Every structure is written in C-alpha cells, then in structure tokens.
Structure 1
Amino acid sequence: MRKATVQIQYDTEKLCAIRQYMGKNDIALDNELDDVMQKLYEKHVPAPVREYIESRDSRVQEKPKRPARPSSTAAANNEVNTTV
C-alpha cells in the first residue's frame, strides 16, 4: 500500500519532552504515531469500507507482474546468435 505523509504542528517543547522520555524507554515515535493513526482509522472508517480497502490492497499485491519485454538489441543479438 502506498504511504502518505501527514504533517502537523505541535509545541516544540512538548515534542522534545516526548522524544526524550520515549527514547529512555526505547520507543520509536513513528511507531507510536502509526498505532494512533491505525486506531483513528478503525474508529472512524466503517468496517465495510475498511474491508473494501484491504481487499483492493491484497489484489494489487497478488497481481502477477508481467515479464519485461526483451529490448530490441537483445532480440537482435539472439537472432544473430541463432543464425551463426
């Protein structure tokens, strides 16, 4: 799933304090914010919509990749090699 960037304004001193005390406990701020966003998503987005989004995401991940077409020079080299 593609990721978006969320930007907020927050009091600098409070943010420094959060980072300081989370760092003492080896807790990553990014991980905590991800958890909060997930809880907000689950709280506010109806279950059928979440299921739809998750099914779309899983279909995109399961979609087989088409093999790359050989370049014209590679195809030309194969023709030369097979005729030699």
Structure 2
Amino acid sequence: MSKINITVPFDAEKLSALDFCLEKENDSAQKRMEQALTELYEKTVPEPLREYLDSKAAPATSKPKRPARQSASKPQPAPPKPVLPAVPISDGKEEKLNG
C-alpha cells in the first residue's frame, strides 16, 4: 500500500516540549501519533474490510518462482584423467637379465 503524510496543525513550542519529554523515553510525537492512528483504524474499520485491504496489499504467491538463471560463466574444465604408469607390453619372449 502506498503511504501518505497527514498534516495536523499544532503549536510549535508545545510540540518541541512534547518531543523533549518523550525523548527521555526513547519515543517521539511522530511515533505516538502513528500508534494512535493505527489504533483508531483498528477500532473503527470493520475486520472484514481490514482483511480485504491486507489481502489486496499482500503480493500474490499463487505461482512458484522460477529458479534464477545462472550467469554465463566460463565452463568448468573437465577433471584430468588419472595417468596410469607405462607398462611394457610383452610379446611372450622374456629376456634374461644378468644371467
């Protein structure tokens, strides 16, 4: 839902004093006014209408999201094949060594 600002006329010195006193409680007139307006809304607007407005504001989640595409990165090189030790091929004739 989009938000709007509400302007309420109020004496500047009184607002300054109010903020000064609320600051000790880590609060502000702005926060208190937002809380009061929310309470007024919940007290005044019927629940079915509030639920309708909330459902209208919630993003539709009926469709599952598609997985994100992978960025075009360099292809991964294939792992090197294991190197086997060279074994001489015998033709059936064995040579005698030193003997």
TM-score, normalized by length of structure 2? 0.55
Q: Is the deviation greater in 23-32 or in 12-21?
A: 23-32
Structure 2 unmatched runs, 5+? 65-99
Q: Which residue of 1 aligns with 2:46?
A: 46
How far apart are residue 43 of structure 1 and its match? Answer: 1.2
Is the helix fraction higher in 1 or 2? Answer: 1
C-alpha separation between the residues in 2 aligned to 1:33 and 1:8? 10
How far apart are residue 48 of structure 1 and its match? Answer: 1.0
- Which aligned pairs between 1:5-84 and structure 2 lie closer than 5 A? 5-59=5-59
Secondary structure of 2:18 counterpart: helix
How far apart are residue 30 of structure 1 and its match? Answer: 2.2
Size of the aligned set, in residue pairs, is 65
TM-score, normalized by length of structure 1? 0.63
Write the deviation string for residues 34-53 of structure 1: whole angstroms up to 9, x where unpaired.
11110010111111110100
Higher relative contact order (CA 8 A, sep 6+): 1
Q: Which residue of 1 aligns with 2:87?
A: none
Distance 1:19 1:60, change over 3 A: farther
Distance 1:3 1:61, change over 3 A: farther
Q: In terms of Rg, which structure is larger? A: 2
Structure 1 unmatched runs, 5+? 65-84
